[in-house]
Amino acid sequence: MLSKTGVPTREQVESVKPDRERLARGPVAVIECFQQIPCDPCYTACSRGAIQPFADINDLPRIDFGKCNGCGLCVAYCPGLAVFVVDETYSETEALVRIPWEFLNRPEAGQKAPGLNREGKEVALVTVKRVQPSPSKNGAYILWLAVPKELAFEVRSIPVK
């Protein structure tokens, strides 16, 4: 359970997942923010109006998947590093998952790495496709990982070392 272990439940993850049709249309932001905290930069970062205005700064973010084009600005500006972009149209067998990255272990494009789930367990071998300096220009990067399609909502990191 999230409050006990830091790992969100399956139900929580399902609740923020775009539907099958939207996933079939290309990259989309997945906001894994499950706690009401005073924070709204995802809304201010979104240039497409996809992330809805906050009536109360403690609201959970709400996203209109129809307006989201998966640009990833919210990945760069979320202080909780809780936003990912998932593209299930990447290939027949693989999805592309974009994760925020702030570690010295900066893989190169083409490199393989263990894919970790939300518990830090290795669940796949993934390929780093792109290492993008974060649009926030604050030293962070966004890693584009090719992961087995069935693990698009499992892989959320690579190891620190």
Kindly state whether residue 104 participates in binding other proteins, applying the rule CB under 8 A. yes
Phi and psi at residue 115, to the nearest 5°: -95, 125
Residues 129-148 that bind other proteins (CB under 8 A): 136, 138-140
Q: Measured between alpha carbons, how far is 13 from 106 in angstroms, rounded to an integer? A: 27
Kindly state whether residue 5 participates in binding other proteins, applying the rule CB under 8 A. yes
Residue 74 neighbours by CB under 8 Å, 6+ apart = 29, 31, 42, 45, 46, 51, 83
Q: Which element (helix H / strand E) includes 98?
A: strand 94-101
Kindly state whether residue 20 participates in binding other proteins, applying the rule CB under 8 A. no
Candidate ranges 5-13, 18-26, 86-94, 145-153; the one touching other proteins (CB under 8 A): 5-13
Kindly state whether residue 80 participates in binding other proteins, applying the rule CB under 8 A. yes
Q: Using CB under 8 A, list all residues that contact other proteins.
A: 2-8, 32-41, 44-45, 56-58, 77-82, 102-104, 106, 116-121, 136, 138-140, 156-157, 159-161
